[in-house]
Amino acid sequence: MKKTLSVFTVLLLFIINGCTKEEKSDPVSPSVEKKVASCTGCHTDYEHLKEVYTPDPPDPGGGGCGGETPHIEPYDRVYLGGEGYNQFLKTAHGRMPCTSCHNGNDNTADKDSAHSNNFLKKPSYAAEEKCGGCHNAIVHRMQNSLHTMGWGQKNMLTLRSGLGYAQEGFERLTALMKEGYDVNCAKCHAACGDCHVNRPKAGGGGLYNGHYFGMPDMRNHCTTCHTSRGGHAFFGVASGTDPDVHLTKASFTCVSCHKEEEIHSNGVTYNQRYDMPLLPKCEDCHSGVSNSNKYHKAHINSFSCYTCHSQDYNNCGSCHIGGVGARIPSHLKFKIAINPIPATRPYKYALVRQSLSAPDSWSNYGTSTLADFEAAPTYKYTTPHNISKITTRTGYENTDGNWVVYNNCTEGCHISKNSDGIYKNKELFLFNSDLEEWEKASDQNITVDGKLPSSWGVQ
């Protein structure tokens, strides 16, 4: 028995010593490095990410449109964890190797090596190669998408630069102007992952829900970019305003009205969003409105619905790209003008919003004055997302807190002169006197001067 135990002890010591010796000569990384020697090993280890992350460089673009971008630490932007990551692992995307979309090298603890081999931080920026194999139809249509390509913004820039529409004109901009656009304007125009996987850059960027691929979230995606105009109005952020009735009464989100083919594109290139035929229309849900009351009967073909059913909304102007930003700060107002896009929208009058453009907006990018600034109005057709059945144009709130509908349009909207010689409701309309001096040449065709009914007594 003693002899057997002695042989066993020697054998055990030999095994232990052998393993120890082998481990000491093993070129593989220590155990802590083994743990993170893969894409998922590294990105599921929060403490390790905090040790190896690279700090962000200074942001040369400043806040840009929509204000300062929220800061999210680099290690938080790439951490794989939480319920979202667990859900992701169960999906088709979660079963694919990381390198099939991101390239790079797996099975290494070396950060530089992992992120070599044509590493793609955002695979959907190479959508044709990385997404098209499974989502070919969508990828093909997205090449025309207003969301992805930003044609509306680009067109305003190229038209005012005297270069025509953006499809041809954008490439003729100077390299410095295109750089300015990329830094300051492009942060809200998105590839697939910016809506379905990540937070938009304007919201701080990074993984939104543990790499889970999902429908865009209204607050974390849509209104992160559409914030000063869309979300601000829809949620009733401004003092004295109420949330949109579609939110409070029907719990709508953005995708309740804005459907997939509109967002992804129908495969046709449009110069601005109001050219898109798939935009939602009030009549899509509110059928029979043309004869539903005397006001609709009188105005349904002359006014956009928003001129009566929107509350005051955000305006700002005179943006200095790459500089101080909007020199006319954000402010609430309401302006009815001659419809600036009659070929697209059939109304005589429409709601308009003051835009950011000014002749010297791009002076920090080598263009002191835009060559053809007057090519488009500075007040643009608008559709505020702050709808209410009764507004200050259609009724008033009595002392009991109940809304009472006006007997006629003269009370809430038409201009009239009172006994003191003061015009009532004049502030609702866009007159030449409302414009900055540098806006007058651009907006002369849409101001109401000399175009209102003579019975109103204001010309």
Count how many Cα atoms sit within 13 Å of the Cα of residue 82 in the half-sphere of its side chain: 11
Helices (H), 212-288: 223-225, 232-234, 245-248, 254-257, 260-264
Express each pLDDT in 381-394 by its tens digit.
999 999 999 999 99
Mean pLDDT along residues 233-243:
96
User: What pLDDT does residue 24 have?
Assistant: 40
Distances (CA, A) of 424 to 89, 413, 427, 430, 457: 63, 9, 8, 14, 11
* pTM over 0.75, yes/no: yes
Helices (H), 150-220: 151-160, 166-169, 175-184, 192-196
Element holding 112 (H helix, E strand): helix 111-114
User: What pLDDT does residue 22 have?
Assistant: 39
User: What pLDDT does residue 266 have?
Assistant: 93
Express each pLDDT in 295-307 by its tens digit.
999 999 999 999 9
User: What pLDDT does residue 78 have?
Assistant: 97
Element holding 298 (H helix, E strand): helix 294-299
Size (the chain), residues: 459
Residue 5 dihedral angles phi and psi, to the nearest 5°: -65, -40
- How much of the chain is helix, strand and coil, in % rounded to 5? 40, 10, 50
User: What pLDDT does residue 197 have?
Assistant: 96
β-bridge pairing 325-333 and 335-338? unpaired
- Residue 142 neighbours by CB distance under 10 Å: 24
Q: How far apart are CA 196 and CA 199, in angstroms?
A: 8
In this predicted structure, the answer to whether residue 4 has a pLDDT above a threshold of 80 is no
Q: How far apart are CA 41 and CA 84, in angstroms?
A: 17
Window from 55-69, 95-109, 119-133 with minimum mean pLDDT: 55-69
Confirm if 231 and 202 have CB atoms less than 8 A apart: no
In this predicted structure, the answer to whether residue 259 has a pLDDT above a threshold of 80 is yes
Mean pLDDT along residues 227-251:
95
In this predicted structure, the answer to whether residue 215 has a pLDDT above a threshold of 90 is yes
Express each pLDDT in 316-337 by its tens digit.
999 989 888 899 999 999 999 9
In this predicted structure, the answer to whether residue 52 has a pLDDT above a threshold of 60 is yes
User: What pLDDT does residue 60 have?
Assistant: 56
Report which DSSP code applies to 230.
I
Window from 59-73, 261-275, 277-291, 366-380 with minimum mean pLDDT: 59-73
418 — pLDDT class (breaks 50, 70, 90): confident
Q: How far apart are CA 304 and CA 93, in angstroms?
A: 44
Amino acid at 437: E
In this predicted structure, the answer to whether residue 380 has a pLDDT above a threshold of 60 is yes
In this predicted structure, the answer to whether residue 7 has a pLDDT above a threshold of 70 is no
Q: Per the structure block, which two tokens stand in for 155?
A: 């067109």
User: What pLDDT does residue 70 have?
Assistant: 86
User: What pLDDT does residue 20 have?
Assistant: 41
65 — pLDDT class (breaks 50, 70, 90): low
User: What pLDDT does residue 397 have?
Assistant: 85
Distances (CA, A) of 3 to 8, 14, 15: 9, 17, 18
Mean pLDDT, the chain, rounded, equals 89
Amino acid at 254: C
In this predicted structure, the answer to whether residue 178 has a pLDDT above a threshold of 90 is yes
184 — pLDDT class (breaks 50, 70, 90): confident
Confirm if 294 and 167 have CB atoms less than 8 A apart: no
Window from 31-40, 151-160, 420-429 with minimum mean pLDDT: 31-40
Q: Which long-range contacts (CB under 8 A, 24 or more apart) does 187-190 make?
A: 187/61, 187/64, 187/69, 188/65, 188/66, 188/150, 188/225, 189/147, 189/148, 189/149, 189/150, 189/153, 190/147, 190/148, 190/225
User: What pLDDT does residue 11 have?
Assistant: 41
Is 6 in a helix, a strand, or coil? helix
- Residue 107 neighbours by CB distance under 10 Å: 11
Is 290 in a helix, a strand, or coil? helix
34 — pLDDT class (breaks 50, 70, 90): confident
Amino acid at 453: P
Distances (CA, A) of 206 to 33, 196, 294, 306: 25, 12, 52, 36
Which position has the token pair 């002749």? 359
In this predicted structure, the answer to whether residue 94 has a pLDDT above a threshold of 50 is yes
User: What pLDDT does residue 64 have?
Assistant: 52
